[in-house]
């Protein structure tokens, strides 16, 4: 019994997405346990620091739009995959990353009542690993569409 590459990737993407979600939740739990404030923020490099920031909405919208935005994003991602049959594996990879980030932030909304952001580059709004995954995944999908 042989396994084709498409069957292998069908099992690989959910595992990769689950690992991203777990890594996101662990990183947020570590930051919440340390509770950094602007007065005692700690940095890794001169321009990167860790501070605690909570937001109750997603994508700049109030929390009550979270479910609607998640449904629209999932539908749009599915439509993008259907439009890209030649780049199906790349599109599935990008979609996995983006959805893992969205699920990570959604877990925060349900579990903690707010999304925990902690990476501060000082030239960009404070974000977290899930936000980075969303941006990378959707950016990759846009790149494939172009």
Closest of 105, 125, 110 to residue 28, by C-alpha: 105
Given the residues 24, 108, 117, 120, the one annotated as active site: 117
Rounded CA separation 52/75 (Å) = 32
Given the residues 24, 108, 120, 131, the one annotated as active site: 131
131 part of the active site: yes
**Could you write out the three-class secondary structure of 102-118?**
HHHHHHHHHHHCCEEEE
108 part of the active site: no
Active site positions, annotated: 117, 131
């Amino acid at each position: 019994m042989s396994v084709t590459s498409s069957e292998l990737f069908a099992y690989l993407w959910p595992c990769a997405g689950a690992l991203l979600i777990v890594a996101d939740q662990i990183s947020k739990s570590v930051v919440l346990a340390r509770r950094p404030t602007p007065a005692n923020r700690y940095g890794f490099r001169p321009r990167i620091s860790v501070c605690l920031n909570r937001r109750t909405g997603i994508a700049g919208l109030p929390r009550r739009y979270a479910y609607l935005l998640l449904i629209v994003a999932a539908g749009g991602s599915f439509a993008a995959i259907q439009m890209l049959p030649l780049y199906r594996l790349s599109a599935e990879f990008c979609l996995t990353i983006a959805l893992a980030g969205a699920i990570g932030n959604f877990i925060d909304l349900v579990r903690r009542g707010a999304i925990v952001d902690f990476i501060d580059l000082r030239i960009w709004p404070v974000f977290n690993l899930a936000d980075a995954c969303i941006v990378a995944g959707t950016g990759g999908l846009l790149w494939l569409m172009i």
